[in-house]
Structure 1
């Protein structure tokens, strides 16, 4: 495998999507250990990297993208490797359950539609934003829960399952524009119109802060009412480092728009993912 192919799969980037899986694990009560392990491996080492590689192949970015400051030139190998990883994910998914396999198949189709030139959801600001937020949040939460607990899709129609799934999407809908804030020029060059472009640099910060507040209140209420420990307070405590970094970055960007760059965005992603992963993993263990 070429080094460029491996880099474009961006396997470490899956860490930023891990909170959704860990949230599903935290609210699970009848965990199938084997399924939980397989689901983690399928999502973070096959499906997510396949999506990254496929989108990179069609985007052909020349400037920084999520997880890669200097993306190398793509080759046809990246396209075929991404399809191979998808296929392996579906085969293992079938071993977990037919519903899980079908759901990751749908996830794969949506992720491909995001960058494929014949559809390219990325060029539609609202549609692309909703697709990313719903399928990386709510949809992934549900498919993870179904596999981890070895239950059917119908059994997820309960408030204590649906509500955290919806909250995960609210969190992603708020944070997703921040991942586009440094790519305005590159996206415009390809004719893509993202939600962050529509909001503007400072507007993206404002939008994310409001979404962050709403989802945090929702998570606090859910954890306080559903967990025997003061999980809501633990969650809010974990949000403090994110809030501090976000606020200081916002103040820097107000003075200099160039502060909305790749390095600062990746730092926010790392801090927020780290704190969410720690608190959700702790709740899962407790």
Structure 2
């Protein structure tokens, strides 16, 4: 019997890339009143070891990328093993989420469904630039924040306006990075017939769009902490994100001089710098709480 392509499958699950979405979970964990420790562990495992890798694997299987994609400069060929692994991970996540609540399990099913619709050729939301952006904006930010908050807080905790504001902060920060992850993939996306948001905006427009969303997310975060009477928390946010802001402006400037600088390497560096310093900030918040 031929050996299953386990290494290729593990590579396409892109576990390190999934962990860059950890700040949304950390934010919800830090803001949920009296979070349940067991639920916190289960939610972390479900999202970061099952849901996100399943989504990455499912997406990779149907994209069959030949060029560079998130964190993979030379992606290996995919096989049916990747598809079945993503399905197993997806439904294992649903079963584990029942340890938290039925509501959380339903949220996981909804997220998984839209994630599959994003890539599956029968729907392929990914080929519609605005719709694909809205799906990522809502589901990787606000929806995940809400799902985590409801799963971690006691059942009788009301969902106040601050929960939605915090969720929108997450959506803006996730959405700000979205076109920059597509900025070097124009040829690859065009080959599949996809028209991404970055293709629609162009290189310069992608940076402008990203900058506007980042400013909007930062303004909402300022309002959030101001309403909580903790404006100093926003000051720490600005300090933590300064390296990402500096690199963003530097990369934008170099791309205006030479569009070839909108490359896989620089996009990966941008993702790593912003993601790691977001992790630092939201980890600091969690430790405070």
Instruction: Specify which of 240, 246, 253 is matched with residue 251 of structure 1.
Output: 253
- Secondary structure (helix, strand or coil) at the match of 2:47 reads helix
CA displacement at 1:183 relative to structure 2: 0.7
Deviation sequence 1:223-264 (CA, Å, 0-9, x none): 233254710111111121111000111111111111111111
The aligned residue for residue 169 of structure 1 is 171
Aligned residues: 284
- In the TM superposition, 1:79-228 aligns within 5 A as 79-151=83-155, 155-156=158-159, 158-226=160-228, 228=230
RMSD of aligned alpha carbons: 1.3
- Secondary structure (helix, strand or coil) at the match of 1:200 reads helix
Taking a change above 3 Å as real, the CA distance of residues 37 and 227 of structure 1, as seen in their structure-2 partners, is farther
Q: Does 1:29 align with 2:47?
A: no
Q: Which runs of 5+ in 1 are unaligned?
A: none
CA displacement at 1:144 relative to structure 2: 0.8
4+ aligned runs moved over 4 Å, structure 1: none
The aligned residue for residue 278 of structure 2 is 276
Instruction: Say whether the 8 Å CA contact 1:62–1:70 is kept in structure 2.
Output: yes
Deviation sequence 1:75-115 (CA, Å, 0-9, x none): 00000000001111011101110000000100000000011
TM (normalized to structure 1)?
Answer: 0.96
Instruction: Say whether the 8 Å CA contact 1:35–1:150 is kept in structure 2.
Output: no
CA displacement at 1:174 relative to structure 2: 2.1
Deviation sequence 1:172-211 (CA, Å, 0-9, x none): 2222111111111110111001111000011101111111
Distance 1:86 1:59 in 2: 18
TM (normalized to structure 2)?
Answer: 0.95
